[in-house]
A and B are shown apart, each in its own frame.
Chain A
Amino acid sequence: MSTFLGMPATPPRSPYGTGNLRGDRKFPKAAHDELRNEQLRRNLGKATRTIRTKRLGVTGELPDWEQLRDAGSAIKTDTMNRLPELLEQLEQKVTEHGGTVHWARDGAEANEIVARLVRATGSSDVIKVKSMATQEIGLNEHLESIGITPYETDLAELIVQLADDKPSHILVPAIHRNRDEIRQIFLDEIPGVDPDLDNVPAHLAAAARAYLREKFMTTKVAVSGANFGIAETGTLSVVESEGNGRMCLTLPDTLITVMGIEKVLPRYQDLEVFLQLLPRSSTGERMNPYTSMWTGVTPGDGPQDFHLVLLDNGRTAALADTIGREALNCIRCSACLNVCPVYERTGGHAYGSTYPGPIGAVLTPQLAGMDAAEDDPNSSLPYASSLCGACFDACPVKIDIPSMLVELRHQHTEQSGTTAEKLAMKAAAGVMKRPKLFAAAQKAAALGRIAGGRDGTISHLPAPLSGWSDSRDTPAPPKQTFRSWLASAEGAATMSAAAEEGARHTADDHEEDR
């Protein structure tokens, strides 16, 4: 790839300390707590199962679904190959249509730009369209710290914000909450809410709607993310289900959109592919209810002041990685989360990042780095997978997440110094590359029979194997390995008897053929 807009040779990662790309605990520790939350596990299991089935229904009914996936993957790969050029084109088109483009190297810079733009309007409130990019950079926290109040308008995002919680899912941020919990949050946090509010979904939605309507009518500034930015025309697009986003995008005077630079698409026509792939993969719907598109400023219609903040925050670092860059193809549909057996049990919080689940496990370490420092929580993310591959099968743009996980694990071990694990791996390879040593080690393993006791199972193992033996018995090694059986008289006799039978069969087959 050509150098990106004067970037240094090693592109910067998202810095420590800003935003939400680094949890405070490693995955296994965080998962430990989440796994203990029975309610959470039930909510998650139910929600992911429902959405999985729904998705399979609507992807299965399209005869060209696989071709669509290929097309999506090809467009994204092409986009990444010429990202600098496309971004410049996007900037030019947005500017031509009366918008203003800002470039932000990282989250801190993006936060400052947005804060400056909001201040210039004189407003102390902003309404927000659900946006992963602004979650990633911690925009709400930054605005609050300087006296500007952000109001989330996506229903699930509102629930999370009112509860002072963090989103647990890309698409369904409040997936971990049930109706009763939501009712309680509304009673506690929405001023003037009906104290007799029950947990009927329509009533809950009505309470939120009354609260939000007032915000829509009175707030002059909105902040949004973008699902797509079209280089060819300078068009930005947000897709959503509730229409609250459209309110934000059309009612205020000023609209500020924060978009990760990987969200650009070359041509307007490319939307044809992605507007089919995205809703079917994410909500299991044939089409999302609201697709909003805007190109710069239209006099007399909608916001008259439009700003686009293009966010890097580690993306060029990911782009520089020949294997890892594929993560930038992600359209944030969350299909990989919904099929991931690890996510299904632990939920999103265990990942400590705005991006949970399989894609988060590869994207987060790339954007924010995995410090060689042993205790960087991000270094535990690539290991938070059994490599079952369900994510790869579900991904609408065919991102090979399992291979990327393996690659990031490799990068991590290459970066880290000598560890007990590395020594063990070296030692194991050392034994396995010498057949004589391997045979000797097998004999030693057979001594493990002693640990097996009378019933031939081992129920306690020392660390680091104790996590295994906490819930699983291990069979004591057998008396004889396969190779020693094969070399024994019994092995030889068994094999030659089988061969004789085989010869008879083959002769019979020929007989039948005739």
Chain B
Amino acid sequence: MRIGLFATCLGDTLFPEAVKSTAVLLARLGHDVVFPPDQTCCGQMHVNTGYQREPVPLVRRFAEQFGDASIDAVVMPSGSCAGSVRHQHEIIAERYGDAALRAGVSTVKAKTYELSEFLVDVLGVSRVGAYFPHRVTYHPTCHSLRMLRVGDKPLKLLRAVEGIDLVELPEADSCCGFGGTFALKNAETSTAMLQDKMRNIAATDAAVCTAGDSSCLMHIGGGLSRIRSGTRTLHLAQILGSTRTAPYALTEAAR
């Protein structure tokens, strides 16, 4: 399959390791990974903060970069960006776009996937040849869970990882408190939510808390780092990308 990789603006800039793992993993599974070079951002931050005119050019660029018929699927290591492409681009195109944008958006929407749904639903694999001999807990991010309905697909993938000690996170499906600009506009409420999430993570005694969104992990990881917790965060793609021949060393720098 020819897969268009969307790095996401945050992944490309701040969390390249998660995107690298995604690219390598998909190639390792025998797929042709292409990176449309003029991609930037899906515009989610704008929409969620209340701006719908401003991201029109971003939505258009996304549709142009990934609309190409030679691209069979668009894959990204982010539930919230996939959610934005699937649920928000249409609203924007309806409101401020032209016929071409509306058409482009609906073409791309139909072939857009978050990494775990792509692996499990489209490729039909759960065992991806990963090796990760550590204690891990999984936090399902809200947009993966409720916008994309990824369900237990990430857990299926994790359970099939060789050597992993997967422990259930208490109150897993409660929000970590990130919410994009929510963490700035309502910083104290966000922190209160984060504290409960960190308490639950601590209860698992895991070395790693993983999730399908770098943004939520940035928030959770930032909190864990501040309290000097022994647990660190790692994107799901990095665990799936870790192999016996190239194992991920937990002592490596965070990114």
* Residues on A facing B (Cβ under 8 Å): 27-28, 31-32, 35, 41, 341-342, 345-346, 382-390, 392-393, 406, 408-410, 412-413, 421-422, 425-426, 428-429, 432-433, 435, 438, 442, 445, 456-457, 459, 464-465, 467-468, 470-475, 477-478, 480-483, 485-486, 491, 494-495, 498-499, 501-503, 505-506, 509
The answer to whether B55 touches A429, judged by C-beta atoms less than 8 angstroms apart, is yes
Cβ B43 vs Cβ A429 within 8 A: yes
- The interface residues of chain B lying within 8 Å CB-to-CB of A495 are 23-24, 27, 33
Name the residue of chain B whose CB is nearest to the CB of A472.
B222
Assuming A387-B48, A425-B51, A495-B33, is B193 touching A470 (CB within 8 A)? no
Interface stretch, picked from B98-106, B112-120, B174-182, B204-212, is B174-182
Complex-state Cα separation, A160 to B7, whole angstroms? 53
Q: Does B203 contact A (CB under 8 A)?
A: no
Residues of A with C-beta under 8 A to B38? 435
Within 8 A of A (CB), among B38-65: 38-41, 43, 45-52, 54-55, 57-58, 61
* List of B residues within 8 angstroms of A41 by Cβ: 192
Q: Is the interface of A mostly helix, strand, loop or mixed?
A: helix
Q: Which residues of A contact B194 (CB under 8 A)?
A: 471-472
Contact yes or no, B186 A433, CB < 8 A: no
Chain A residues within 8 Å of B11, by CB: 482
Excluding A384-B189, A482-B11, 9 further A-B contacts by CB distance (< 8 Å) are: A31-B188, A382-B50, A384-B186, A387-B179, A467-B187, A474-B218, A478-B255, A498-B28, A503-B30
A-B contact pairs, 23 of them (CB 8 A): A31-B189, A342-B193, A382-B50, A385-B179, A389-B147, A393-B146, A413-B49, A413-B50, A428-B45, A432-B41, A433-B57, A433-B58, A435-B38, A457-B225, A471-B194, A478-B16, A481-B16, A482-B7, A482-B11, A482-B19, A482-B23, A498-B23, A502-B27
Tell me if B20 is interfacial: C-beta within 8 Å of chain A. Answer: yes
Q: Is the CB of B52 within 8 A of A475?
A: no
Report B12-34 CB contacts with A as 1/0, cut-off 8 Å.
Answer: 11111101100111011111110
Which one, B12, B46, B193, B225, contacts A345 given CB within 8 A?
B193
Q: Does the CB pair A435–B37 fall under 8 Å?
A: yes
Note all chain B residues with C-beta closer than 8 A to A341: 174-175, 177, 193
Given the interface contacts A390-B146, A482-B20, A483-B7, does A345 sit within 8 Å of B192 by beta carbon?
Answer: yes
Residues on the B chain within 8 Å of A481, using CB = 12-13, 16
Q: Which residue of B27, B45, B46, B191 contacts A499 across the interface (Cβ within 8 Å)? A: B27
Q: State whether A425 touches B46 (Cβ < 8 A).
A: yes
From known contacts A386-B182, A429-B43, infer whether A28 and B188 are also in contact, taking CB-CB under 8 Å: yes
Query: Which residues of the partner chain A approach B20 to less than 8 Å between Cβ atoms?
Result: 482, 485, 491, 494
On whether the beta carbons of B179 and A386 are closer than 8 Å, the reply is: yes
Inter-chain contact A392/B146, CB cutoff 8 Å: yes
Residues of chain B with a CB closer than 8 A to A406's CB: 47-48, 50, 88
Indicate if B184 sits at the interface (CB-CB under 8 A).
yes
Distance in Å: Cβ of A408 to nearest Cβ of chain B: 8
| Docked complex Cα distance between A442 and B33 (Å) | 23
Docked Cα-Cα span, A489 to B134, in Å, equals 31
B223 contacts A by Cβ under 8 Å: yes
Which residues from chain A contact B175 at a C-beta distance below 8 Å?
A: 341, 386, 388, 390
Query: Which one, A433, A477, A482, contacts B40 given CB within 8 A?
Result: A433
Please give the distance in Å from A457's CB to the nearest CB on chain B: 6
Cβ contact within 8 Å between B186 and A31: yes
Looking at the assembled complex, report how far the CB atom of B199 sits from the nearest CB atom of chain A, in whole angstroms.
12
CB within 8 Å for A385 and B182 given contacts A31-B188, A445-B13, A475-B221: yes
A465 to B222, CA, bound (A): 13
B177 surroundings in chain A (CB, below 8 A): 341, 386
Do A483 and B37 form a contact, CB below 8 Å, given A345-B193, A473-B226, A502-B30?
yes
Q: Quick one: CB contact mask for B83-95 with A, threshold 8 Å, 1 for yes?
A: 0000010000000
- By the criterion CB–CB under 8 Å, are A387 and B142 in contact? yes
Cα–Cα, bound, A389→B174 (Å): 10
A480 touching B16 in the complex, CB below 8 Å, given contacts A341-B177, A386-B193, A498-B27 = yes
A458 and B88 alpha carbons, distance in the complex (Å): 32
A498 → B minimal CB distance (Å): 4
CB < 8 Å neighbour of A438 from B19, B40, B190, B191: B40
> Inside 8 A of A425's CB, which chain B residues have their CB?
46, 49, 51, 54
Set of chain A residues within 8 Å of B32, measured between Cβ atoms = 499
Q: Restricting to B216-244, which residues have a CB under 8 Å from any CB of A?
A: 218-219, 221-223, 225-226
Distance in Å: Cβ of A341 to nearest Cβ of chain B: 5
Provided the pairs A388-B175, A471-B191 are in contact, do residues A486 and B31 lie with their beta carbons within 8 angstroms? Answer: no
Q: State whether A475 touches B186 (Cβ < 8 A).
A: no
For the complex formed, measure the closest distance between the CB of B6 and the CB atoms of chain A, giving whole angstroms: 11
Q: Which 6 A-B pairs have the closest CB atoms?
A: A467-B187, A386-B179, A409-B50, A472-B222, A389-B146, A388-B175
Contact A470 B142, CB 8 Å, known A383-B186, A429-B57, A432-B40: no
A501 B146 Cβ-Cβ under 8 A: no
CB distance from B164 to the nearest CB of A (A): 21
Complex CA distance for A464 and B254, rounded to whole angstroms: 25
Is B9's CB within 8 Å of the partner chain A?
A: yes
Q: Contact between A477 and B13 (Cβ–Cβ < 8 Å)? A: yes
- Alpha-carbon separation in the docked complex, A341 to B192 (Å): 9
**Given the contacts A387-B182, A481-B16, A482-B7, A35 and B223 also touching, CB distance less than 8 Å:** no
Give Cα A32 to B186, complex, Å: 9
B185 at the interface (CB under 8 A from A): yes
Q: Bound complex: CA of A425 vs CA of B24, how far in Å?
A: 33
Known contacts A389-B147, A468-B184: does B218 contact A422 (CB below 8 Å)? no
Contacts of B182 in A (CB 8 A): 383, 385-387
Residues in A neighbouring B184, C-beta threshold 8 A: 464-465, 467-468
Asked whether A482 and B47 contact (CB < 8 A) given A35-B192, A389-B147, A498-B24, the answer is no
Residue on B with the closest CB to A343? B189
Known A-B contacts A386-B142, A481-B12; the reply to A470 vs B51 at CB < 8 A is no
Chain B residues lying within 8 Å of A413, measured Cβ to Cβ, are 49-51
Min CB–CB distance B185 → chain A (angstroms): 5
**A426–B54 alpha-carbon span in the complex (Å):** 6
